[in-house]
Amino acid sequence: MQKLFAEWPVSIPRTGVLVTSFGETVPFKEFMTCGDLLLLERPVPDIAGARRVILEYKDIAALKIVDAIEMSRFTAFGFRGPVGTRSWRRLKND
């Protein structure tokens, strides 16, 4: 996750939802990195009134991308493989 955030492509909006290893979901509209730490800015304050969350990368269980983005744009993150149903069918039949 650390590399993903450190090298976040400009073509992907810097928004999403993090799921922590504690089971908490943290929506964010912006972020900053610092070594092993990630600073998230929430779009609205949480129940305690906090707008910002700092957590260690080791405490991230998952990242959810909420914007409607074509799969092919995720190659900017370094993801590879078939994109779209047609490619999946071709691989399945090979």
pLDDT at 74: 86
DSSP at 5: H
- Quick one: which of 22, 18, 10 has its CA closest to 39? 18
Strand partners, 26: 18
pLDDT at 85: 53
Query: Which residue range is the domain that position 77 belongs to?
Result: 2-93
Domain count, the chain: 1
What's the one-letter identity of residue 41?
E
Q: What residues in the chain have per-residue pLDDT under 70?
A: 83-94
Domain of 79: which CATH number? 2.30.30
Strands (DSSP E) contained in the chain are 16-20, 25-28, 30-34, 37-41, 52-56, 60-64
Please give the mean pLDDT across all residues of the chain: 88
pTM (two decimals): 0.79
pLDDT at 14: 94
